[in-house]
Amino acid sequence: MNVLRLSMSAALLAAFASTAVAQQPAPAQAAPAAAAQPPLTPEQQAQVERQNAEMGAAAQQVLQMIDADRAGEVWDGASQTMKGTVGRDEFIRQLAADRAQLGAAARRDAPAVSRSQFQAGETVPAGIYINVAFPTTFAAQPQPIRELVSFRLDEDRTWRVSGYSVR
């Protein structure tokens, strides 16, 4: 399924590599920054904005699959890092349990996109990640909660789902 396989251009990878550390959500988990990064060029900023839109759309498609009880298909197209962490049946079971408590998704607001780079030995497998977080309101939860779809840039330079959580 093409939504789970997004290739990254070399130019965008270069732009990302220069800003990945600066855009991490939690410095305690992030690779240490060597020095302040130079600002992005207008072309690089446009590429980042395009990628944000593409990854937001890809995450929306993943969420639509989850909403339609197609979590197994999400796992099937996921990164090997996710598959090595959680088995298919456990992934499906956990999603079903979460959704049983929350009910159906009633509303998803605009996503926030962040980038992270992790080194070997950290709590997350080494690699470059994009996280797409949606404030989502569920039928059984009146206040929005964060719904997160994570993607990892795999060794073949393809973005694949590496995680899903709702908190």
Domain ranges of the chain: 7-25+42-166
Please check whether the domain covering 7-25+42-166 is classified as CATH 3.30.70.100: no
**What pairing do the DSSP bridges indicate for beta strands 105-108 and 6-7?**
unpaired
Q: Are 98 and 9 in contact (CB under 8 A)?
A: no
**How many CB atoms neighbour CB 72 within 10 A?**
13
Q: Are 161 and 79 in contact (CB under 8 A)?
A: yes
Q: Are 33 and 70 in contact (CB under 8 A)?
A: no
DSSP string, 95-125: HHHHHHHH-SEEEE---EEEEEEE-TTSSS-
Token digits for 55?
Answer: 């990854």
Q: What is the pTM of this model?
A: 0.79
Instruction: Kindly give the confidence (pLDDT) of every residue in the chain, 167 residues in length, as a single tens digit, with 9 standing for 90 and above.
Output: 434 444 443 333 433 433 343 333 333 344 444 457 789 899 999 999 999 999 999 999 999 999 999 999 999 999 999 999 999 999 999 999 999 999 999 999 999 999 999 998 777 888 999 999 999 999 999 899 999 999 999 999 999 999 999 98
